[in-house]
């Protein structure tokens, strides 16, 4: 099943996790940003009751976090997506948000990909992780699946951090 279809059929928990995972994987764009998104992972595990409160706390932490000039332009779209996250735990708003987060993550990965086009290795890996996370959460409603989704997101962050490092060294200029 394709990414668009998986998002369309996902429940609220899967949509919240999918959107958050996309943004979490883009976090290396913020240089040394502390793990301010971690409370949202816990909020997803706790479910609907804690989502809005945890989301508000993350937004406050992001507003207070210093942003270096070099990364602020790259990080701005990710911050906007966190600000746009719905406080309501419902499939409709979460689905729209998850789809927007997916698109943003794919776009950012394409921009950083050393191979131009929609199917460079960095963008293909990001799309693969998005599909894996949605399939995993659809098949397993337990906390272990959410932990595995977080692990996949961490792996994606490492890949993006390595791509940014290569780019900074001039080893892979995507332009």
CA distance 99 to 104: 9
Q: Point out the least confidently predicted range of 6-15, 53-62, 64-73, 129-138.
A: 64-73
Q: Point out the least confidently predicted range of 62-71, 149-158, 163-172.
A: 62-71
Q: Give domain status of residue 40, yes or no.
A: yes
Q: Give domain status of residue 92, yes or no.
A: yes
Q: Give domain status of residue 42, yes or no.
A: yes
pTM, two decimals, is 0.88
The larger pLDDT score, comparing residue 14 to residue 172, is at: 14
Alpha helices by DSSP H, listed for the chain, are: 3-9, 12-25, 38-46, 48-64, 69-84, 91-112, 121-139, 143-169
Residue 30's pLDDT is 65
Of 126, 120, 122, 53, which Cα lies nearest the Cα of 87? 53
Q: Give domain status of residue 175, yes or no.
A: no
Q: Point out the least confidently predicted range of 66-75, 133-142, 155-164.
A: 66-75
Q: Give domain status of residue 174, yes or no.
A: no
Q: What is the mean pLDDT of the chain?
A: 86
Residue 175's pLDDT is 39
Q: Is the pLDDT of residue 63 over 70?
A: yes
Q: Give domain status of residue 119, yes or no.
A: yes
The parent domain of residue 115 ranges over 3-169
Q: Is the pLDDT of residue 105 over 80?
A: yes
The mean per-residue pLDDT over the stretch 99-107 comes to 95
Six-digit token string for 157: 């962050």
* Residues 117-153 pLDDT 10s: 668 899 999 999 999 999 999 999 888 999 999 999 9
- Please tell me the total count of domains within the chain: 1
Q: Is the pLDDT of residue 155 over 60?
A: yes
Q: Give domain status of residue 45, yes or no.
A: yes
Residue 123's pLDDT is 93
Residue 107's pLDDT is 92
Q: Give domain status of residue 161, yes or no.
A: yes
């Amino acid at each position: 099943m394709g990414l668009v279809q998986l998002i369309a059929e996902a429940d609220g928990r899967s949509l919240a996790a999918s959107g958050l995972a996309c943004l979490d994987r883009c976090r290396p764009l913020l240089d040394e940003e502390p793990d301010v998104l971690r409370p949202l992972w816990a909020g997803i595990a706790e479910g609907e009751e804690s989502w809005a409160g945890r989301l508000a706390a993350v937004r406050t932490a992001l507003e207070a976090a210093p942003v270096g000039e070099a990364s602020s332009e790259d990080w701005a779209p990710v911050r906007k997506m966190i600000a746009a996250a719905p406080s309501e735990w419902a499939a409709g708003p979460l689905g729209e948000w998850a789809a927007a987060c997916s698109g943003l993550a794919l776009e950012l990965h394409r921009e950083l990909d050393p191979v131009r086009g929609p199917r460079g290795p960095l963008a293909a890996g990001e799309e693969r992780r998005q599909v894996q996370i949605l399939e995993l959460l659809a098949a397993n409603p337990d906390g272990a699946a959410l932990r595995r989704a977080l692990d996949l997101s961490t792996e994606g962050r490492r890949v993006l951090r390595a791509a940014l490092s290569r780019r900074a060294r001039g080893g892979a200029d995507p332009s």
